[in-house]
Amino acid sequence: MRLRAALLALLLAGCGLPAPRAAEPDAAPGAPAPAGAPAAGPGRTVAGALRIGVIADCQYADRPDEGARLYRRSPDKLRAAVAALEAARPAFTVHLGDFIDQGWESFAVVAPLYEALEAPALHVLGNHDYAVDDALKERVPARMGIPQRYRDFAHSGWRFVLLDTNDLSLHAFPAGSAAQRDARAFRDAQAPRAGDAGGALGIVQLAWLDAVLAAADAAGEAVVTMSHHPLLPAGPAAAWNAPEVLAVLRAHPCVKLHLAGHDHAGSYAELDGIHFLTLQGMVDTTENAWATLDLAPAEIRVDGTGRVPDRVLRVR
């Protein structure tokens, strides 16, 4: 409780901002999976582990290649990943943001490919997902099948927490809006050297996250958190208020793994027994980039494809 109060006081006093315009969750923290969330079923686990699929930064657009970014090749790579995931039979798959690079019309190309998965195909919001006309920005979560911009659900003793690091950002709101002005003030105060493509969790979402993790601690659940912008390692790709988010995660022993995208090169870090895995981007490779994760009480096995390496992560 002291950590939560100190965190909220620090953010409010340091930035002088009102609570962010974040969607309130429909279910109470720690509640069972809502309707439409992945459901447990036979044949979805391997040797007692829960298997999930993970993809980051498909980032499709009908535009010429730009350096390493091969925009028009993303549909073929996504199609191949979906076919392989069907064979691997994960309980669900999560795309970690930047499903498109730009343009509302891009969703119509890649969404049917991803939604062809038999198991639930979920999304975390990325900054490029908002690279659409200002009048359409509010419709982006619904277009991606996202019921709340941040949410959680339970599956087989694990709790999955999908965060929104665009809660405070310059791209998720119309130009010149109060929300965009608030985000710029927050960025300038918290991460003055960060670029415009970043973002942060607002105060309401941070308090919600703390409550969800406290409930998971009490229930004896293991937790995987996810966001588009990484939390570690520190650097220009990290969320603007990564230290504050890390403070919340480190206060809860239930947290085992954090997954992220955004940094297309990928990375790995460990802090206080929590693994921080940033998946390599699908858009900028001539191979492919996706993975399945087998989650077990003692370890997490990452089976990578293309430029995503295999890993074995010991669970604290």
Question: What percent helix, strand, coil does the chain show, rounded to 5?
Answer: 30, 25, 45
Does the pLDDT value for residue 41 go beyond 60? no
Which whole number is the average pLDDT over 192-215?
A: 96
Residue 47 pLDDT: 59
Residue 37 pLDDT: 53
Asked whether the CA dihedral 211, 151, 120, 100 is positive or negative, the reply is negative
Please, which pLDDT band fits residue 12 given cuts at 50, 70 and 90? very low
Which whole number is the average pLDDT over 122-140?
A: 98
Query: Which of 305, 215, 233, 311 lies closest to 269 in space, CA to CA?
Result: 233
Asked whether the CA dihedral 276, 281, 286, 292 is positive or negative, the reply is positive
2-17+44-314, CATH topology level? Purple Acid Phosphatase; chain A, domain 2 (3.60.21)
Which whole number is the average pLDDT over 103-125?
A: 98
What mean pLDDT, rounded, does the chain reach? 89
When mean pLDDT is compared across 38-52, 101-115, 211-225, 293-307, the lowest value belongs to 38-52
CA distance 238 to 240: 6
44, two tokens: 């979805």
When mean pLDDT is compared across 14-18, 106-110, 179-183, the lowest value belongs to 14-18
Residue 316 pLDDT: 87
> Which residues are within 8 A (CB) of 122 and not within 5 positions of it... i.e. 6 or more apart?
38, 92, 93, 94, 95, 145, 162
Please, which pLDDT band fits residue 30 given cuts at 50, 70 and 90? very low
Residue 46 pLDDT: 47
Residue 33 pLDDT: 47
Does the pLDDT value for residue 93 go beyond 60? yes
CA distance 138 to 149: 11
Residue 38 pLDDT: 53
Q: Are 265 and 102 spatial neighbours (Cβ–Cβ below 8 Å)? A: no
Does the pLDDT value for residue 35 go beyond 80? no
Which whole number is the average pLDDT over 176-191?
A: 95
How many percent of the chain have pLDDT more than 90?
83
Residue 2 pLDDT: 39
| pTM, two decimal places | 0.88
Strand, coil or helix: what is 188?
helix
When mean pLDDT is compared across 23-37, 170-184, 226-240, 302-316, the lowest value belongs to 23-37
Which whole number is the average pLDDT over 59-63?
A: 98
**Cα dist. 134→96, 171, 195, 282 in Å?**
23, 9, 20, 26
